[in-house]
Structure formats: structure tokens, C-alpha cells
Amino acid sequence: SQKIKIGIVGYGNLGKGVELSINQNEDMELIAIFTRRDPDSLNNPLMRNIKDIADYKDKIDVMILCGGSATDLPEQTPEIAKMFNTVDSFDTHANIPIHYDNVDKVGKEKGTLNLISSGWDPGLFSMQRIIGESILPVGNTYTFWGEGVSQGHSDAIRRIDGVLDGKQYTVPIEKALEKVRSGENPEFTTREKHLRVCYVVAKEGEDLERIENEIKTMPNYFDEYDTEVNFITKEELEKNHSGMPHGGYVLRTGQSETGSKQRIEFVLELESNPEFTASVLVAYARAVKKMHNNGENGCITVFDVPLGMLSPKSPSELRKEIL
Ligand code: NDP
């Protein structure tokens, strides 16, 4: 049968990850990559100027949107949904309901199907939280992130006066994880769950104590955590901290009526956050194509997608092989 035709909008970490992931899915083909920058500067034969996106209206089944959540996706998703089915990874949690309403309106008007806030968190972790809470209604849910690089916190370090570059790792505290696993149903303060570890390259002659203090007391980002600050050279940062690992844990600990303890634990260990997130978006693009073929439109989230839709296999194949 015909391959699913994919387009990518935005060629950053995630966009590059999607391009790679398509190679691993034989039922899909990449048609074009759209950017707001000069396409000729990006050295890729599939690169197109985003201004030409309308020319691809009948040539692409699903657009995978790889812009940033802060300012790109709130504009791009509703705009592109006027012409194409879309998948995005919108992760500004507080604004998901507004984003949903905007995209749903366009999708219903234009007959496109659009899946928002896919990825791992939000995304796979959100699904695990729902599974845990639905199956073990009496219990507690815990999410731990890391060990991994937080882009937002790394950016915050780099904005400090006297800092050349920096990376921040979010590290779950093992003792807290063990407490959860034991079924004690503990309550934690922010400080008790995660540690923040920073690697900082300072400009020559800077007062390191001042920089360390500014990091540790930064409101919203660091002040509620125990933070470790390590000053290193530019070479060390490039050699040892250039990757984008991430991951984490979703745990649900509950009890059945007799008091039997039950625990569900979902773990992600990701050597590359953007490459993994991209592979989730690609699987959901397949689901969007299938569900659009079935006549659905508007906006959906991972909660609205039956699991089998993610697979290239048919329902009968899945029943034979997996049940
Ligand atoms: P990037 O900053 O790498 O890319 C975002 C956009 O910026 C790109 O689409 C691109 O648009 C533009 N861009 C990229 N590189 C450059 C450059 N060198 N100069 C100028 N512009 C550039 O972000 P990521 O790809 O790492 O992440 C995108 C979003 O994915 C994040 O904002 C986050 O919200 C989301 N995410 C979600 C996850 C989840 O689990 N749900 C997990 C991880 C990320 P253009 O080509 O048009 O210029």
C-alpha cells in the first residue's frame, strides 16, 4: 500500500530527530522540511521555505511540527492545521487547554486532524499517570525526571553575567525513589525529590563565588532545590556534556481492598531526548493518518488514540502476534 507522506516544520533538534526516525519506518516517506530560515543555508535537499508550504497541500498527509513550545507552536499549529493534519509536542502544561481549543476550532472548520502535546512528558508519561490512577484508584502517583539535561535551566545559567556556557542536569534523588518503591506513600518537598547539578564555563577573571551564588538563589529555577555548581573549561564542557540525555520515572503505588500493595513503574532512559521525542511524534503521525482516514477531525491528544493506531500492523495482525 501507499506510504504515509510526512512533512517536517522546523529544523532544530527535534526536526532532525524526526528526519532520522522516518528512515526506521518503512511505511513512511519524508517529502519536505520547512524552515523560516534561508533553505539554501541548511544544506539539505528536502529543505523548503515555509512560505511555500501551501504548494504541498495535496502532497503531504501529516505535518510533524518541531518548533519550540514557547512561541513557535502557539502560532504555527493553528496556522498549519488550516491545510494539513498535524502532530506537535507542545509542552507548556498550563496552556495546553487554550492550545487545544485554538487547534480544535481550525481542525473542525477545515476537516484536518491534529494531535497536540505528544512526546514523553507530556505524552507517554501522561498516559502512564492515567493508567496508574485508573487501575489503582487508591494510591499515589509520583513523577521523577532525569537524570537528564534541562534546556530551560541550562539557558537560565547562560543568561547570568560572566557565564560563557553551561549545562544543567536534573537528577532524581535515589533515596526518594526507594521510599516510593517501598510503598510508604511518602510526601516530598521539592528539594527531596530532585537535585540540580550544573557545569559552568565562566569568563576569565570572574568572581566564581558570585556566579555560584546567583545560580543557587535564582527564583523558580534553583532556589527550592539543592544545587551543585561545578566550574569547568570550555573543552571539558564540549567533551563531556554535549549530549542531550534525559528520562525519568512514573510510579503509581496503591493498595487493593485487602491492603495488598501494588506498584506500577514506568522508566525511560534516553541517551538522546530529541531523537526519542521525535520517534514518539512519528508513531503518532501514523495514528493521525489512520484516524483521519476514518473521518475524524479537530484536535486530539494521546488520550484519544487507541493503541493499535500507533502500529503499522492491522488490527488482525496485532491480535495474532501480540495477544
Ligand atoms: P530547537 O531550539 O532546536 O528548535 C526549535 C526551532 O528553532 C526549530 O524548529 C527551528 O525553526 C529553529 N531553530 C533551530 N535551530 C536554529 C538555529 N541554529 N538558528 C535559528 N533557528 C533555529 O528546539 P528542539 O527541537 O530541541 O525542541 C523543540 C520543542 O520540542 C521544545 O520547545 C519542547 O517544547 C518540545 N519537546 C517536547 C518534549 C515532550 O516530551 N513533549 C520533549 C522534548 C522537547 P526553523 O527551522 O523554522 O528556523
- Tell me the pLDDT tens digit for each residue of 22-60: 999 999 999 999 999 999 999 999 999 999 999 999 999
Pocket of ligand 1 (CB under 6 A): 10-15, 35-37, 66-69, 72, 89, 91, 119-123, 273-274, 277
Distance from Cα 12 to the centre of ligand 1, integer Å: 5
Pocket test for ligand 1, best of 8, 9, 11, 14 (most atoms within 8 A of CB): 14
Q: How confident is the prediction for the chain on average, in pLDDT?
A: 97
Q: Going by CA atoms, what residue is nearest to atom 28 of ligand 1?
A: 68
> What whole-number distance in Å separates Cα of residue 315 and Cα of residue 1?
16
Per residue in 94-104, pLDDT (tens digit) is 999 999 999 99
Q: What residue spans of the chain are helical by DSSP H?
A: 13-23, 72-80, 96-110, 124-135, 151-158, 174-181, 190-193, 208-216, 234-240, 273-293, 315-322
| Residue with CA at minimum distance from ligand 1 atom 18 | 12
Average pLDDT over residues 58-63: 98
| Minimum-distance ligand 1 atom for the alpha carbon of 124 | 40
pLDDT on residue 45? 97
Supply the pLDDT for residue 162. Answer: 97
What is the reported pLDDT for 322? 85
Nearest CA to ligand 1 atom 2: 12
- What does the alpha-carbon distance between residue 283 and residue 140 come to, in Å, rounded to a whole number? 30
Helix (H, G, I), strand (E, B) or coil at 306: coil
Determine the pLDDT at residue 255. Answer: 92
Residue of 11, 43, 242 to test ligand 1 pocket, by largest number of atoms within 8 Å of CB: 11
Q: What is the pTM of this model?
A: 0.96
Residue 277: its pLDDT value, please?
A: 98
Average pLDDT on 243-262 reads 96
Give Cα separations from 141 to 32, 86, 179, 307 (angstroms).
Answer: 41, 31, 13, 22
Give the Cβ contact number of residue 316 at 10 Å: 8
DSSP of 275-293: HHHHHHHHHHHHHHHHHHH
Q: Which residues does 238 contact at the CB level (< 8 Å), separation at least 6?
A: none
Candidates 6, 27, 122; CA nearest to 313 is: 27
Q: What mean pLDDT comes out for the span 143-148?
A: 98
Rounded distance between C-alpha atoms, residue 38 and residue 36, angstroms? 7
Q: Which residue has the cell 516530598?
A: 188
> How far does the centroid of ligand 1 lie from the alpha carbon of residue 259, in Å?
47
Best mutation site among 41, 42, 89 for ligand 1 pocket (most ligand atoms within 8 Å of CB): 89
Nearest CA to ligand 1 atom 38: 119
68 CA from centroid of ligand 1 (Å): 5
Is residue 125 a contact partner of residue 145, using CB atoms and an 8 Å limit?
Answer: no
- What is the C-alpha to C-alpha distance for residues 118 and 219, in angstroms, rounded to an integer? 29
User: How many Å lie between the centroid of ligand 1 and the Cα of residue 70?
Assistant: 10
Closest ligand 1 atom to 90 CA: 34
149 C-alpha to center of ligand 1: Å? 15
Could you identify the atom of ligand 1 that is nearest to the CA of residue 16?
25
Residue 1, pLDDT score: 73
Taking the CA of residue 36 as reference, the ligand 1 atom at the shortest distance is 47
How many beta carbons lie within 10 A of that of residue 322, not counting itself?
A: 10
Asked whether the predicted pLDDT for residue 153 surpasses 80, the reply is yes
What counts of helices (H) and strands (E) characterise the chain?
Answer: 11, 14
Beta bridge partners of 300: 115
What grid cell was written down for 124?
507517554
